[in-house]
Amino acid sequence: MAALEAGAARFDLRDQPYRTDSTNVQLDLTRTLNERWSLLMSIGISRLTSTLTVYQPVLVQDPQGGLHLVLQRFDLVSQPSTANYALNLQRKSERWTLELAASRALQPSGFGALARQDDVSLTASHNWSERLALGGTIHGSRLYDASGRLSLGNRRYYDLDLNADWRITERWTMSLQVALYLERQQSGGFTRSNVPVFLTLSRQFNRVSPN
């Protein structure tokens, strides 16, 4: 199956005279290779129009020959382009599910400008028994400043997520999740965040039929 997508957006950099207009087109392809393998692939291109507005003093001569100093507006425009892609390869068996994903995309930064983000992840899940399921994800991300205005540098993030679901009874399930997050600094060192641990106990209720 194939699909074609297109979009446009505008971002104004907060507290600065800078604007980014983004237009993109993307082709999505989904294919089931066989009973166990499936592939999802997207490829596209984004065109950025970055406009920096500046005001500079300019000498202007009036009809009488006098000179006046006025502020004149100048729009400095650049139009770079970047490729976007996404790849997802999945394999399923009776007990195992493996998924490899990689992508590159432009993402809003929260400051009114776009950032380019590269992601790669490997996810595995295993049905240990009828009641116990285990899973984990290794993920890495790299963040670039697509506009050159955010001073992001070259940031890299890594995280490891582990989870387990234990179905105690037909209605009660206990879930455990542990995560580790790392950020690589430009100096080469790593900053580690806290290691969150979540333990959840949930109960499934019967569906209530309307009268």
**Reduced to 3 states, what is the DSSP secondary structure of residue 174?**
strand
pLDDT of the residue at 174:
95
Phi, psi of 22 (to 5 degrees): -120, 130
Q: What is the pTM of this model?
A: 0.70
Structure confidence by residue, pLDDT tens digits, 83-98: 888 999 999 988 899 9
Residue of 193, 108, 191, 180 lying closest to 155 (CA atoms): 191
Per the model's pLDDT, the better-predicted residue between 177 and 72 turns out to be 177
pLDDT of the residue at 136:
96
- State how beta strands 114-127 and 155-167 pair: unpaired
> Is residue 150 over pLDDT 90?
no
How far apart, in Å, do the first and last CA atoms of the chain sit?
42
pLDDT of the residue at 206:
74
DSSP state of 209: P
Domain ranges (residues) in the chain:
2-203
- For every residue of 86-119, DSSP letters joined together read EEEEEEE-SSEEEEEEEEEEEEE-SSSSEEEEEE
Q: Which tokens hold the place of 80? A: 């770079």
Distance of CA 66 to the CA centre of its chain: 56
Percent of the chain whose pLDDT exceeds 70: 79
Q: Which tokens hold the place of 30? A: 């989904």
Distance of CA 167 to the CA centre of its chain: 33
CA geometry: angle 97, 102, 107, nearest 5 deg: 125
Q: Name residue 71's amino acid.
A: L
The matching CATH number, chosen from 3.40.50, 3.30.1300, 2.30.30, 2.40.160, for 2-203 is 2.40.160
Q: HEC states along 79-94?
A: CCEEEEEEEEEEEECC
Percent of the chain whose pLDDT exceeds 90: 30
User: What is the CB neighbour count within 10 angstroms for residue 209?
Assistant: 5
